[in-house]
Amino acid sequence: MKIGLIPLVRKEIEGEILESIRKHLEGFYSQFGFNVEILPETTIKDLFFSYNSTREQFLGRFFLMKVAEIKGIKRLSAGLGITDADLYEEGMNFIFGLANPYLKSAIISLARLKPTFYGERDGKLLKERAIKEAMHEMGHVFGLEHCLNPKCVMHFSNSIIDTDYKGKDYCEKCLNTLKRNLG
């Protein structure tokens, strides 16, 4: 069983970030029999129709559909898109990510995880944040809902402050649900 990481590249996504996400996801999801593999980069040229020039953002659902399409072609168990494009959904100023359990697909955006977006210095923050958002969206893919525990990775992030506060892992309650769903 394979989880595919699909880089949907607008400008650039560092290989080191992809590898950090891959390593953490595999470290966790291998207990359920999953391998995690980084797929070749895909450009987002065919997603420019979803660009809103007033907001300077892309509509996230189309990125999710693209991931689902590639997931089908590559016969993956699940697909996680990773993009450097800034995403939004109707009624939201922005989204860190989006998931669909029926499509077994998810997307995360690195745009607002980058420390430079907040005028912070870089360091290891981007990696930490990307891992958390990846774990969060994969949790949704495998049927988890949002969790009230602010330290649980399934806690909803309204802003980067929530993302930085929460941990990289599922709380005991979410973990038990996941074991039921994947067992």
As annotated, the active-site residues are: 137
Would the annotation count 155 as a binding residue? no
Six token digits for residue 91: 């009624």
Six token digits for residue 65: 């559909």
In whole angstroms, the minimum distance from the beta carbon of 140 to Zn ion comes to 6
Give the residues lining the site for Zn ion (CB under 5 A).
Answer: 147, 149, 152, 154, 171, 174
Would the annotation count 147 as a binding residue? yes
| 6/95 with CB nearer Zn ion | 95
Would the annotation count 38 as a binding residue? no
The DSSP code sequence of 107-168 is EEE-TTTSGGGGT---TTHHHHHHHHHHHHHHHHHTT----S-TTSTTS--SSHHHHHHS-S
Contact 22, 36 (CB under 8 A): yes
| 80/147 with CB nearer Zn ion | 147
In whole angstroms, the minimum distance from the beta carbon of 46 to Zn ion comes to 26
Query: Per the annotation, where are the binding residues for Zn(2+)?
Result: 136, 140, 146-147, 152, 171, 174
